[in-house]
């Protein structure tokens, strides 16, 4: 009986660790705004917010919006499917992308959101991530808490 309880507990621990590993660094991704308005704002792709490992995406559509008068207005948008990318820079369309909305200048104090699509050529299918951030008084992106 003691051995059975030990085996059940062991299996529960192993299953819990597997779930933790798969959700911590899964096939989903996180978008991290970086840089500064004056030097350029870029967006790097990570395995998750916690993992911090770079992730290359088969980059699909990109949309950046600014919150103005209570509604989101598109300030830059591209469409297409690029090769594997781990970072983009605001206003510079990735290779094989077509600009839908030309980039408008980013402004300190503005609240923005970026939506990025990953279009992998495998069975997983497309996925997207939206991140909301504010540009502080120095023009540095600060991600809103989830």
Structural domain includes residue 4: no
- Residue 43 · residue 31 · CB < 8 Å: yes
Structural domain includes residue 75: yes
Distance from C-alpha of 107 to C-alpha of 75, rounded to nearest angstrom: 11
pLDDT along the chain (146 residues), means of 10: 53 42 54 95 89 84 96 97 88 94 97 92 79 97 88
Structural domain includes residue 77: yes
Looking at residue 54, its pLDDT comes to 83
Structural domain includes residue 23: no
Structural domain includes residue 1: no
Total number of domains in the chain: 1
Kindly state the DSSP code that residue 12 receives in the 8-state scheme.
H
pTM exceeds cut of 0.85 = no
CATH code of the domain in which 89 resides: 2.60.40
Looking at residue 145, its pLDDT comes to 83
Could you list the residue range(s) of the whole structural domain that residue 100 is in?
29-143
């Amino acid at each position: 009986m003691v051995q059975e309880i030990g085996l059940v507990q062991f299996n529960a621990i192993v299953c819990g660790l597997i779930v933790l590993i798969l959700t911590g660094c899964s096939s989903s991704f996180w978008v991290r705004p970086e840089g500064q308005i004056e030097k350029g704002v870029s967006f790097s792709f990570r395995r998750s917010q916690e993992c911090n490992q770079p992730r290359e995406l088969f980059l699909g559509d990109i949309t950046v919006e600014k919150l103005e008068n209570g509604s989101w207005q598109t300030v830059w948008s591209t469409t297409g499917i690029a090769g594997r990318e781990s970072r983009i820079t605001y206003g510079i369309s990735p290779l094989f992308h077509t600009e839908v909305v030309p980039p408008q200048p980013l402004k300190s104090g503005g609240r923005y959101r970026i939506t990025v699509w990953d279009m992998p050529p495998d069975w997983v299918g497309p996925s997207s991530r939206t991140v909301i951030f504010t540009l502080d008084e120095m023009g540095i992106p600060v991600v809103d808490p989830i």
